[in-house]
Amino acid sequence: MNPLTAIYGAGTAMRNSLFDRHVLRARRLAKPVVSVGNLSTGGSGKTPFVIALGELLQERRIPFDVLSRGYRRKTKGVFVVDPSGGAADFGDEPLLIARRLGVPVVVGESRYEAGRVAEQKFATELHLLDDGYQHRSLARDFDIVLLSAEDLDDRLLPLGRLREPVSALARADAVLIPDDLDMAPLAVRNKLIWRMSRALELSDPPVKPVVFCGIAKPQRFFAQVRAAGITPAAEIVFGDHHAYDMDEVQAIRRAALDHDAGGFVTTEKDLVNLGEQRSALHPLSLAVLRLTLERPTDVLDTILARITERKPCS
């Protein structure tokens, strides 16, 4: 094992042990917390799943909010996301969630403090904790972990993308796996296992577009675009959560001219990170990743029943 990976793994194991033995204590909010997380550094579909779960809650008319760190934002402290604001203030994924769901989204380094602000300002009955599996300082009532096929063969940081080993699934309540994963790992035996399917929706894609993105797994996105019957004129990759400047937008435009492209295709997250510069790319088609749960009614019923059982009486 690489020494850096060994050090990282030992540090992660020690921290988890301190929480397991209650040396480090998690603080509890007044309202139940349902955490959505994963083991790797990105690309498992957490944000689309938070949106899909939020839509199920909205169908039941259950008021909820979303708590998030606000990764890569330039602000510090706790803020309620303004859907008309920018990614630099709130983070791209919280902003996308706020725009898609139209519910309160609160960002903060401490999700406990973010939750306290949410409980003071909004009459919600439930907190969805975005990317919360490793944020153990906030007590949660139900832990959902998204697992990808790549996670099973990956390594811990810094050589791989795993923040925790697959064995860490032992503390999850439910594990969400893609429908093309034939066999669940031993670590999820005796766990709730839910399945999901992914579908990429494209509205009026241009002919021979320049396809670009700044996400965790760009090659999977490009493959999905090609599988949808689109032949890209060019494919351009930026880093995950990339904030575009005008020079980069102009470079994308030049690529379209050089390859005689009919327009542009990108992701929802990249649209957020383009900000007002999106108007410079026309026509621009948006690729929306939809997650569909098997037996969604059973999934939501299970979550609601479990948090009712666990929540201490006030």
pLDDT tens readout for residues 237-252:
999 999 999 999 999 9
pLDDT digit string (tens) for 20-39? Answer: 999 999 999 999 999 999 99
Indicate if the pLDDT at residue 183 is higher than 70: no
71/29 Cα distance (integer angstroms): 22
Please identify which residue in the block is written with the tokens 């708590």.
Answer: 67
Residue 173 near residue 309, CB atoms below 8 Å: no
Place of tokens 């009486």: 313
Is the omega angle on the peptide bond into residue 283 within 30 degrees of 0, that is, cis? yes
**CA geometry: angle at 134 spanning 192 and 165, to 5°?**
70
Lowest mean pLDDT among 80-84, 109-113, 188-192: 188-192
Using the predicted structure, report yes or no on whether residue 51 has a pLDDT greater than 90: yes
**CA–CA separation, 128 and 105 (whole Å):** 9
Three-state SS string over 181-214 comes to CCCCCHHHCCCEEEEEEEEEEECCCCCCCEEEEC
Report, as an integer, the average pLDDT of 225-231.
95
Residue 80 CA to residue 270 CA, distance in Å, equals 21
Residue 270 burial by Cβ neighbours in a 10 Å radius (0-12, 13-18, 19+): buried
Q: pLDDT confidence of 181, banded at 50, 70, 90? A: confident
Closest CA relative to residue 129, chosen from 51, 35, 38, 52 = 35
Residue 183 burial by Cβ neighbours in a 10 Å radius (0-12, 13-18, 19+): exposed
pLDDT greater than 90 at residue 177: yes
Q: Residue 7: is its pLDDT beyond 60?
A: yes
At 312 the pLDDT is 57
Of 190 and 105, the structure prediction assigns the larger pLDDT to 105
Residues 278-313 pLDDT 10s: 999 999 999 999 999 999 999 999 999 999 987 654
Cα angle for residues 8, 13, 19 (degrees, 5° grid): 130
**Is the distance from CB of 7 to CB of 114 less than 8 angstroms?**
no
Cis peptide before 218 (omega within 30 of 0): no
Is the Cα dihedral 73, 75, 78, 81 positive or negative? Answer: negative
Please say if the pLDDT value at position 314 is more than 60: no
**Of 214 and 3, the one with more pLDDT:** 214
Q: According to the model, what pLDDT value does residue 2 have?
A: 80
Model confidence at 226, pLDDT cuts 50, 70, 90, reads: very high
180 or 305, which is more confident: 305
Q: How high does pLDDT run on average in the chain?
A: 94
- Residues 127-161 have pLDDT tens digits of 999 999 999 999 999 999 999 989 988 999 999 99
Is residue 229 helix, strand or coil? coil
Yes or no: say if 71 and 93 are a contact pair by the CB < 8 Å rule.
yes
265-288 mean pLDDT = 96
